[in-house]
Amino acid sequence: MRTLGLVAAVTVSGALSGIVIGVAFRSVSGNRMAPWIIGRAAGVSAYLLLVALVLLGLLLSHPWRSRVSRPSPAVRIRLHVAFAVFTLVFIGLHIVVLATDRFAGVGWWGAFVPMGASYRPVAVTLGIVGLWSGLLAGVTAALAGHLPARAWWPIHKVAAVALVLVWVHGVLGGGDTAALRWLYLLTGGLVVVAALSRYAARTPAEHVAELPG
Q: Answer yes or no: is 211 within a domain.
A: no
- Report d(CA 60, CA 52) in Å as an integer: 12
Q: Answer yes or no: is 212 within a domain.
A: no
Q: Answer yes or no: is 61 within a domain.
A: yes
Q: Answer yes or no: is 128 within a domain.
A: yes
Those residues with Cβ within 8 angstroms of residue 47's Cβ, 6 or more apart along the chain or in another chain: 166, 167, 170, 184, 187
- Report d(CA 104, CA 200) in Å as an integer: 43
Q: Answer yes or no: is 208 within a domain.
A: no
- The number of domains in the chain is 1
Enclosing domain of residue 181: 2-201
Buried b (16+ CB within 10 A) or exposed e, 39-76: bbbbbbbbbbbbbbbbbbbbbeebbeeeeeeeeeeeeb
pLDDT by residue for the chain (213 residues), tens only, comes to 445 544 554 555 555 555 555 555 555 555 667 778 888 888 988 998 999 999 888 888 776 666 666 667 677 788 888 888 889 888 998 999 999 988 889 999 999 999 999 999 999 999 999 999 989 888 887 777 677 777 777 888 888 899 999 999 999 988 778 888 999 999 999 999 988 888 777 655 554 444 333
Q: Answer yes or no: is 189 within a domain.
A: yes
